[in-house]
Amino acid sequence: MSKPVRIAPSILSADFARLGEEVRAIEAAGADWVHVDVMDGHFVPNITIGPMVVKALRPHTTLPLDVHLMISPVDGFLDAFAEAGADIITIHPEAGPHAHRTIQRVKGLGKMAGVSLNPGTPAKMLDYLIDIVDVVLVMSVNPGFGGQSFIESQLKKISAIRKMIDATGRDVRLEVDGGVDAGNAARIIAAGADVLVAGTATFKGGPTQYAANIAALKARAAGAG
């Protein structure tokens, strides 16, 4: 692919007692975005962080904060995350009654708007959203917890979404999150993705390994071109 591949480490796998340091470390190690997983214990079976933590992280990095809202109902929180410093706000179509309106609101706040599809959510869900989103995030595990294995059936979905994006002629990022590592990065990129969310694959081995971990992902991704 001609597009450069971005690596977006998920802070879900970081040391939560040292989040500011961890974010500075991954930026220094070559990360492109910082992926922030927001979970409410309702839409997904885990609870993570809220807008105050995003606000606290904002001064620690110049990288885009890629905030993935796994919360329902989502609409009441859009303004808070925008004000906290999110650059990209991604929602699930199942997280509210009017996905199109929700995406319009994100864009009205001056942010990049993303839509995320769970493993069981078909690509067809994007038919009337693809023309207004900036990011499509394919979940290649069922959301809620880090460290899960990549679901192979999602490669076909990634390919289908890549065709949809190309047909629009728009610059829409195609992001993949869940079980991404150096072993499958090339296949994911070959299927059409251009942003890889990598939690465990980035943070394994501690801060001295972050640069090597990110470099390994980028090298595998580059080999897919």
Q: What is the pLDDT of residues 6-36, one digit of tens each?
A: 999 999 999 999 999 999 999 999 999 999 9
Q: Read off the pLDDT of residues 184-212 as tens digits, 9 standing for 90 and up.
A: 999 999 999 999 999 999 999 999 999 99
Tokens standing for residue 76: 């009441």
Binned at pLDDT 50, 70 and 90, residue 1 comes out as very low
Catalytic residue among 32, 66, 177, 181: 177
Q: Among 102-111, 176-185, 216-225, which stretch is predicted with the lowest mean pLDDT?
A: 216-225
DSSP 168-192: HT---EEEEESS--TTTHHHHHHHT
Residue 3 confidence (pLDDT) above 80: no
E-strand ranges in 25-148 read 34-39, 65-70, 88-91, 112-117, 135-139
Q: Give dist(CA 22, CA 18) in Å, integer.
A: 6
- The one-letter code for the residue type at 212 is A
Q: Which residue has the tokens 């990634």?
A: 158
3-state helix, strand, coil in the chain (%, to 5): 40, 20, 40
| 37 in active site | yes
182: exposed, middle or buried (Cβ count in 10 Å: 0-12, 13-18, 19+):
middle
Q: Read off the pLDDT of residues 57-101 as tens digits, 9 standing for 90 and up.
A: 999 999 999 999 999 999 999 999 999 999 999 999 999 999 999
Q: Give dist(CA 132, CA 79) in Å, integer.
A: 19
Catalytic residue among 32, 37, 66, 134: 37
| 40 in active site | no
Phi-psi domain of 47 (left: phi exceeds 0; alpha: psi -120 through 50; beta: other): beta
Quick check: 5 and 195 in contact, CB under 8 A?
yes
Binned at pLDDT 50, 70 and 90, residue 183 comes out as very high
